[in-house]
Every structure is written in C-alpha cells, then in structure tokens.
C-alpha cells in the first residue's frame, strides 16, 4: 500500500488533521466537537500515516507506545474530576478561570476533563489498531 501519492499527501495531512483535532477539542464546549470527536480525528490522522508508511514507521515517529497515553489521559481526567474536592466543593464541580484566554476562550476544569478524554481515545484507538496491524504484518 506504499503509494507515493498517499505518502506525500499524508505527510501534509497529518499536521493539518492534528491541528483540526485540537481545534475540535477546544471548541467542543461551544460548537460541535469535544474530546471524543477530537480524539478520533487525531487517531485517524495517525492511522492514515501508518497506512501510507507502515505502522512500524508511525510508531518510530511517535517515539512512545500508544498504550502509555491511556494512563496519562485517565489521570488528567481523574485529577480534573477530583480537583474541586481540594477547594471544598463536591466532586466534578466546574472550576473556571474568570479571564478568558485568547483563541481558547474560557478555561475550566471541564476542559481538562475533555483533554483527558481526548488522550484516552487516541491511546485506545491507536493501541487497538497498531497492535493488530503489527501482529498481522
């Protein structure tokens, strides 16, 4: 499946798709998008790369196993969930920084929760697809 067209296309598509996925993630609170969708798009970006160059190549580029992203995501989500407890509020209370940050907008604990979801989804999808693909070829 190593076609030159696909390779050169995916070389440019990968950063664009990743950027798009971050965009989807960040605006999820206001427009369609969010952690799940963003994570899936990011995963597709890497899968596309692996289809063009082979999974081993993509793994080399990533420099870490997708499996290791899962705990990172879970921990971020869990921390953002438990963070209000340290302020004496019930678990999962939304905490917000009052000043909006340029481009991103309002930043709050819900955003970090979404980032956790985003990372878990990337980790899960890539773990599943890459282990299967590496084992098959």
Residues 55-84 that bind another protein (CB under 8 A): 67, 70-71, 73-74, 77-78, 81
The whole-angstrom separation of Cα 12 and Cα 109 is: 33
Interface residue with another protein among 10, 14, 26, 41 (CB under 8 A) is 41
Reading the block at residue 26, the tokens are 């960040």
The whole-angstrom separation of Cα 80 and Cα 94 is: 9
Contact between 135 and another protein by CB under 8 A: the answer reads: yes
What size, in residues, is the chain?
Answer: 137
Burial of 106 (0-12, 13-18, 19+ CB in 10 A): middle
**Nearest partner of 120 among 66, 62, 74, judged by Cα:** 74
Contact between 31 and another protein by CB under 8 A: the answer reads: yes
Contact between 52 and another protein by CB under 8 A: the answer reads: no
Instruction: Give the footprint of another protein on this chain (CB under 8 A).
Output: 24, 28-37, 40-41, 43-44, 47, 51, 67, 70-71, 73-74, 77-78, 81, 92, 94, 96, 106, 108, 110, 113-114, 116-117, 120-121, 123-125, 127-129, 131-133, 135-136
């Amino acid at each position: 499946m190593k076609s030159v067209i696909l390779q050169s296309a995916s070389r440019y598509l990968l950063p664009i798709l990743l950027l798009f996925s971050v965009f989807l993630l960040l605006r999820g609170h206001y427009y369609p998008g969010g952690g799940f969708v963003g994570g899936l798009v990011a995963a597709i970006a890497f899968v596309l790369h692996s289809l063009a160059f082979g999974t081993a190549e993509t793994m080399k580029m990533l420099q870490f196993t997708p499996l290791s992203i899962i705990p990172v995501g879970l921990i971020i989500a869990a921390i953002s969930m438990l963070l209000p407890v340290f302020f004496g509020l019930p678990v999962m209370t939304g905490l917000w920084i009052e000043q909006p940050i340029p481009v991103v907008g309002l930043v709050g604990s819900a955003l970090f929760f979404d980032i956790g979801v985003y990372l878990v989804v990337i980790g899960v999808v890539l773990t599943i697809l890459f282990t299967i693909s590496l084992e098959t070829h």
